[in-house]
Amino acid sequence: MTATLEKILLVAEDSDEDFVVLQRFMKRLEVKTPVYRCVDGDEVLDFLYREGNDLDTVTIPRPSAILLDLNLPGLDGRELLEQLKQDESFKAIPIIIFTTSSNPEDIEWCYQRGANGYLIKPVNSLELQKTIRGFVEYWLEINVPPLAS
């Protein structure tokens, strides 16, 4: 049985500049995956639970992956990671941390709380493009996401 699974990427990123760069590189890579953006942890929860004015009337498929910045305003990425990985409805969604922190304690903490990947945002444009290419190739092209439960 072969099924075509539509992949959806949810990006939790508060920096407009970082998000624009991500979009630019994904466009160069000709990524067809729909990308939704939330700027803080509370907005991610609203998106996933379909709460709020705009989301109630729009059918948005469940994300096949979440690209999560740790340093979000309000409910930050750490708290959001913990909350989502404890929720039976969402714990199977791969969450890939995408942050500037190379602190080994942050990396260990995230993996212990269920992160599926940890990517450090390089400062160098070529390295950033390489990192985004690797993310796209694995998480959006090769990896098979879990079925919605």
| pLDDT reported for residue 7 | 87
| pLDDT reported for residue 4 | 43
Check: CB of residue 43 under 8 Å from CB of residue 99. no
Check: CB of residue 16 under 8 Å from CB of residue 53. no
| 83-102 pLDDT, tens digit each | 999 999 999 999 999 999 99
Q: CA-to-CA distance for 93 and 146, rounded, in angstroms?
A: 7
pLDDT band of residue 62 (cuts 50, 70, 90) is confident
**23 CB contacts (<8 Å, ≥6 apart)?**
35
9-142 CATH, one of 1.10.10.10, 3.30.450.20, 3.40.50.2300, 3.20.20.140: 3.40.50.2300
Domain range summary for the chain, segments of one domain joined by +: 9-142
pTM of the model: 0.89
